[in-house]
């Protein structure tokens, strides 16, 4: 998408806009037409496009919902909307939203549907689930499905399986969660609001049947399989970058400026894929590890922490969440526009999203492709921190990275295995 003439300029200018009139002027001045759409959160825009019942859970330090867009009300614009404004003085469009369930949330729902306690999380989770049902909020578990692609054996062959045969290849815990999610989504919210009785409309048999068919269609369909494999590959690339961040941070007491230069060398020479969001997260981690607490917890010790790779993998899944949000934004949901919200009872994901706050996106609904609009431009960020020269390494080697063979799951897996081995050796020797 970035190759479209004028689209990079449009994205940059929109990232600086503060009002709807500014967005309109920028849009018309660039002359981009057709299937390009912009969504921008504006400080000076007052129209509430997201239901108050949703926004109230995204406010405060104890907020459970983590929005993709940061700051202000959300403004939507494309040629169809602009034409409608000029012709009728108004534009009607439908905004869909959804709360994204992850593995933790799916496990909480399974426990509640089976009458099991949640230990220390019980009261907080029950209170939020009560809110979901009372306010009849939309939710989905596409992220949960993507996150658990690792549960699917021989995913390229699963299209040949009948739904029940495919179902039996999944782990019991995964199957239980999927059935409980179907039961949960069948609860009559109006009845719950009246009686506080979370009675599912589906029988367990019906919920199981729906879970079997849903899981098969999600992983076995050509479109679903391609989407989840693409997302899973991106997560592995992020994991490779996370391993590099930790390795560089714990290998010396050098300055953040020096470490980000090392990280850019690692991106160019090892990973082969540069990502703006992860670059800024890495720099903030090098400046002060407490700013990225999920990484700060990994310390030097006499031996590498237990299940370290799993911890790093979970961190990479959290860091990949915004990219699935972007895919869902482009899908446009059940309306003209789609706004995803991530559910998190952990402050780690909030820190990652806050490290790279996004005020909007520009995307092409026909060709595909999305450009995030960060609140702080990446080049401006690194220049302000005295790292402009280090960032030049990324632009100077862009062609070299492009000439490398396209990453696939096998090559990335081998790189992860190699770099993780280096990290474990570093962690187990530093404490001696």
pLDDT of residue 352: 86
pTM higher than the cut 0.85: yes
At residue 223 the predicted structure's pLDDT band, cuts being 50, 70 and 90, is: confident
Please state, for a pLDDT cut of 70, what percent of the chain lies above it.
Answer: 97
- In angstroms, rounded to a whole number, what is the distance separating the alpha carbons of residues 283 and 260? 6
> 254 with 379: CB under 8 angstroms?
no
Confidence of residue 432 (pLDDT cuts 50, 70, 90): very low
Least confident piece of the model among 40-49, 92-101, 230-239: 40-49
With b meaning 16 or more CB within 10 Å and e meaning fewer, what string describes 301-321? eeebeeebbebbbbbbbbbbb
- Provide the 3-class DSSP secondary structure of residue 253: coil
pLDDT of residue 348: 78
Spatial separation of the C-alpha atoms in residues 269 and 248, rounded to whole Å: 14
């Amino acid at each position: 998408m970035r190759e479209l003439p004028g689209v990079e300029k449009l994205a940059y200018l929109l990232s600086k806009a503060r009002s709807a009139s500014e967005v309109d002027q920028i849009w018309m001045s660039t002359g981009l037409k057709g299937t390009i759409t912009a969504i921008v959160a504006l400080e000076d825009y007052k129209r509430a496009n997201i239901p108050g019942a949703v926004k109230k859970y995204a406010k405060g330090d104890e907020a459970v919902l983590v929005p993709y867009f940061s700051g202000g009300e959300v403004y939507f614009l494309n040629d169809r909307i602009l034409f409608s404004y000029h012709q009728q003085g108004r534009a009607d469009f439908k905004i869909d939203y959804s709360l994204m369930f992850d593995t933790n949330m799916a496990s909480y729902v399974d426990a509640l549907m089976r009458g099991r306690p949640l230990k220390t999380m019980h009261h907080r989770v029950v209170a939020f689930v009560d809110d979901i049902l009372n306010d009849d909020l939309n939710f989905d578990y596409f992220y949960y499905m993507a996150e658990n692609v690792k549960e699917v054996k021989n995913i390229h062959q699963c299209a040949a399986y009948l739904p029940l045969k495919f179902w039996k290849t999944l782990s019991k815990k995964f199957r239980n969660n999927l059935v409980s999610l179907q039961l949960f989504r069948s609860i009559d919210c109006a009845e719950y609001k009246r009686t506080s009785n979370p009675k599912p409309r589906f029988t367990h048999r019906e919920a199981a049947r729906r879970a079997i068919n849903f899981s098969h269609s999600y992983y076995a369909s050509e479109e679903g399989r391609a989407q989840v494999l693409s997302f899973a590959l991106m997560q592995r690339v992020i994991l490779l970058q996370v391993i590099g961040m930790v390795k560089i941070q714990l290998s010396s007491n050098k300055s953040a400026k020096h470490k980000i230069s090392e990280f850019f060398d690692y991106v160019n020479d090892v990973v082969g894929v540069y990502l703006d969001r992860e670059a800024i997260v890495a720099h903030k981690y090098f400046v002060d590890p407490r700013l990225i607490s999920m990484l700060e917890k990994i310390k030097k010790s006499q031996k590498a922490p237990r299940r370290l790779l799993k911890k790093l993998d979970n961190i990479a899944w959290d860091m990949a969440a915004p990219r699935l949000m972007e895919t869902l934004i482009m899908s446009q949901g059940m309306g003209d526009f789609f706004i995803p919200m991530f559910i998190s009872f952990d402050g780690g994901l909030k820190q990652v999203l806050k490290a790279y706050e996004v005020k909007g996106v520009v995307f092409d609904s026909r060709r595909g492709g999305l450009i995030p609009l960060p609140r702080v431009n990446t080049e401006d960020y690194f220049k302000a921190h005295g790292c402009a020269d280090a960032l030049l390494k990324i632009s100077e080697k862009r062609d070299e990275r492009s000439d490398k063979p396209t990453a696939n799951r096998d090559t990335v897996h081998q790189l992860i295995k190699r770099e993780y081995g280096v990290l474990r050796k570093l962690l187990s020797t530093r404490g001696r």
